[in-house]
């Protein structure tokens, strides 16, 4: 596998050279590409993406048609909470073994579905097709139709076998599966001032906080897709008058389907940080054109900020001048993090995403500081090298980025689905500041030898393994 020297000291795989960019370098940036072979991408498989999106629908039955390892892979790693049913917390699987791989697993799938549906009586059932199912050719859709007819419960295939060679992402497969329920419910009683929250997964109860904001100013939340989700809410979500899309990577496809078929307009928003949360509330209020609605929105924002803003000052004093790196799934989360860190006096020196589009990265370039390294679909070795070269004080990411940070002696903040602390909304910004300050300013880091850690080497590098990361950082230049 060939590697190339970028103008800075970082060496990356030749196939990825266009996906690593430094603001001010003048070079072109590329994205929307399949992961380079040998790069050990931080991305997850299509099945994982689909289950992440649909999993918080709490009164549905979720069954993985595949080997038991697939069901274990992302079972219950989310902090998504339910205010009622907990059926989604069960990790059901058909546990395909050698016999089913050879002779097919359709009979086992049907028998499993019949048994589970009769026992749990779910509102609907999602059947996730994994890689092995795509390879052996089980007709999952046909089985779902048979079970739906026999039980009267909607049984929906989630077509997410990664090895099948389809261009469909796990997010897209999940959106198409969810959309099969849309339009089958009664829309009576829905207010002319009504919204759907798309891409909000109720991590640590965040959807409840956000729903409260809108209800307080007089806007009805018809459905939260999919945080604390309910099948019946999904069935009637086509009656809402506006879609607010938070996680654009996972839910843009569903919002486009709702716009094309039901004429529901879409606005991309974020509820992370004071600035973005206020903007999201104003966006919804302004859409309906009611002066009283806008007045109540302004009053709410003023009250919330006056309550929490003074408490942030103590954290800003501790964090001023510290440097952060972030690597997240969707680009919209990255935008909000850069702004929130800036509000705390910190500088983002590395920003990356797994699934950003060209439009997303253009926006990210605009809000980042000069010299910030921007990466698309990175890998552990690249991330580790950049963290060392930029002398980072805090790394923000998910479960796969945590080991990188801790091995390098860098503070880490979990901003993914595994966390148990709400970081969205006005109150969430205070939680975020507290966690960042306690992590980055902890006295434990004075015992970590990371500032003397020798620079890591990528395969094919001709640099000395003993070169100090401080020397690397001083070289500067474009990545």
Please answer whether residues 463 and 3 qualify as being in contact, where contact means their C-beta atoms are separated by less than 8 angstroms.
no
| pLDDT per residue as tens digits for the range 150-162 | 999 999 999 999 7
Among residues 361, 337, 338, which one has the least CA distance to residue 415? 337
What average pLDDT does the segment 389-400 reach? Answer: 92
Residue with tokens 């697993």: 105
Predicted local confidence at residue 455, as pLDDT = 38
Predicted local confidence at residue 450, as pLDDT = 61
What average pLDDT does the segment 27-37 reach? Answer: 78
Measured CA distances, 132 to 63, 164, 169, 183, 355 (Å)? 15, 9, 17, 32, 24
For the ranges 19-28, 84-93, 253-262, 389-398, the one whose mean pLDDT is highest: 253-262
- Neighbour tally for 283: CB within 10 Å: 15
- Lowest-confidence range among 47-56, 235-244, 354-363, 383-392? 354-363
DSSP 15: G
| pLDDT per residue as tens digits for the range 245-292 | 997 778 999 999 999 999 999 999 999 999 999 999 999 999 999 999
Beta bridge partners of 79: none
- State the chain's mean pLDDT as an integer: 88
Counting residues of the chain whose pLDDT is more than 90, the rounded percentage is: 68
Bigger pLDDT: 449 or 210? 210
The model's pTM is 0.87
Q: In a 10 Å sphere around its CB, with 0-12 CB exposed, 13-18 middle and 19+ buried, how is residue 343 labelled? A: middle
| pLDDT per residue as tens digits for the range 329-375 | 878 789 999 999 999 999 999 999 987 888 888 889 999 999 999 99
| pLDDT per residue as tens digits for the range 122-176 | 999 999 999 999 889 999 999 999 999 999 999 999 999 977 555 568 899 999 9
Predicted local confidence at residue 226, as pLDDT = 93
Q: Which domains does the chain have, with CATH numbers?
A: 3-30+320-416+448-475 (3.40.50.1980), 46-179 (3.40.50.1980), 194-302 (3.40.50.1980)
Task: Give the pLDDT band of residue 462 (cuts 50, 70, 90).
Answer: very low
Predicted local confidence at residue 165, as pLDDT = 52
Quick one: CA dihedral 368, 369, 375, 378, positive or negative? Answer: negative
- Lowest-confidence range among 211-220, 291-300, 350-359, 452-461? 452-461
What CA–CA distance (Å, rounded) separates 380 from 296?
Answer: 46
Please answer whether residues 207 and 197 qualify as being in contact, where contact means their C-beta atoms are separated by less than 8 angstroms.
yes
Tell me: pLDDT of 460 over 70. Answer: no
Strand locations in 119-231 (E): 125-129, 155-159, 194-200, 220-226
Helix (H) or strand (E) holding 275: helix 274-288
Helix (H) or strand (E) holding 348: strand 347-353
Task: Give the pLDDT band of residue 312 (cuts 50, 70, 90).
Answer: very high
3-class secondary structure, 395? strand
Measured CA distances, 325 to 243, 362, 408, 467 (Å)? 31, 18, 13, 22
Written as one string, the DSSP assignment of 227-246 is TTB-HHHHHTGGG-SEEEES
Please answer whether residues 243 and 223 qualify as being in contact, where contact means their C-beta atoms are separated by less than 8 angstroms.
no
- Neighbour tally for 287: CB within 10 Å: 17
- Lowest-confidence range among 181-190, 225-234, 240-249? 240-249
- Neighbour tally for 189: CB within 10 Å: 10
Tell me: pLDDT of 476 over 50. Answer: no
- To 5 degrees, how large is the angle CA 217–CA 221–CA 223? 165
Measured CA distances, 69 to 51, 93, 94, 130, 301 (Å)? 14, 9, 11, 11, 46
Contacting residues for 313 by C-beta, under 8 A, at least 6 apart: none
Counting residues of the chain whose pLDDT is more than 70, the rounded percentage is: 90
What CA–CA distance (Å, rounded) separates 394 from 293?
Answer: 40
């Amino acid at each position: 596998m060939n590697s190339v020297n970028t103008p800075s000291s970082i060496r990356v795989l030749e196939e990825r050279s266009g996906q690593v960019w430094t603001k001010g370098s003048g070079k072109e940036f590329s994205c929307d590409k399949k992961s380079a072979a040998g790069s050990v991408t931080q991305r997850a498989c299509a099945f994982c993406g689909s289950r992440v999106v649909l999993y918080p629908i709490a009164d549905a039955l979720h069954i993985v048609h595949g080997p038991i390892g697939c069901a274990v892979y992302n079972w219950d790693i989310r902090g998504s909470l339910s205010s009622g049913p907990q059926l989604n917390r069960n990790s059901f699987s058909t546990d395909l073994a050698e016999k089913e791989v050879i002779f097919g697993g359709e009979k086992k799938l049907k028998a499993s579905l019949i048994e589970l549906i009769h026992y749990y009586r779910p509102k609907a059932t999602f059947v996730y097709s994994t890689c092995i199912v795509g390879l052996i050719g089980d007709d999952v859709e046909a089985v779902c139709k048979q079970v739906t007819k026999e039980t009267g419960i909607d049984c929906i295939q989630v077509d997410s076998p990664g090895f099948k060679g389809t261009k469909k992402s796990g997010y897209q497969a999940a959106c198409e599966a969810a959309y099969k329920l849309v339009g089958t419910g009664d829309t009576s009683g829905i207010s002319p001032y009504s919204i759907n929250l798309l891409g909000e997964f109720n991590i640590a109860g965040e959807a409840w906080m956000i729903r409260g904001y809108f209800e307080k100013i007089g806007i009805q939340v018809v459905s939260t897709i999919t945080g604390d989700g309910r099948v019946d809410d999904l069935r009637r979500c086509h009656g809402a008058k506006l879609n607010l899309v938070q996680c654009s990577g996972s839910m843009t496809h569903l919002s486009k389907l709702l716009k094309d078929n039901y004429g529901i307009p879409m606005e991309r928003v974020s509820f992370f940080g004071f600035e973005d949360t206020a903007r999201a509330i104003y966006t919804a209020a302004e859409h309906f054109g009611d002066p009283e609605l806008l007045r109540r929105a302004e009053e709410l924002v003023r009250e919330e900020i006056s309550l929490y803003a003074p408490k942030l000052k103590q954290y800003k004093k501790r964090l001023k001048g510290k440097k952060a790196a972030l690597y997240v799934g969707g680009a919209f989360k990255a935008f909000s993090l850069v702004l929130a860190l800036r509000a705390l006096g910190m500088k983002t020196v590395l920003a990356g995403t797994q699934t950003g589009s060209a439009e997303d990265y253009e926006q990210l370039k605009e809000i980042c500081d000069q010299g910030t390294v921007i990466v698309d679909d990175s890998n552990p070795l690249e991330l580790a090298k950049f963290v060392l070269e930029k002398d980072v004080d805090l790394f923000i990411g998910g479960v796969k980025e945590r080991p990188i940070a801790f091995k390098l002696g860098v503070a880490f903040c979990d901003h993914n689905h595994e966390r148990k602390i709400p970081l969205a909304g006005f109150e969430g910004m205070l939680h975020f500041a507290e966690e960042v300050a306690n992590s980055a300013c902890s006295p434990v880091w004075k015992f970590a030898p990371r500032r003397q850690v020798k620079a890591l080497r990528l395969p094919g590098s001709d640099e000395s393994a003993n070169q100090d990361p401080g020397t690397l950082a001083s070289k500067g230049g474009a990545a």
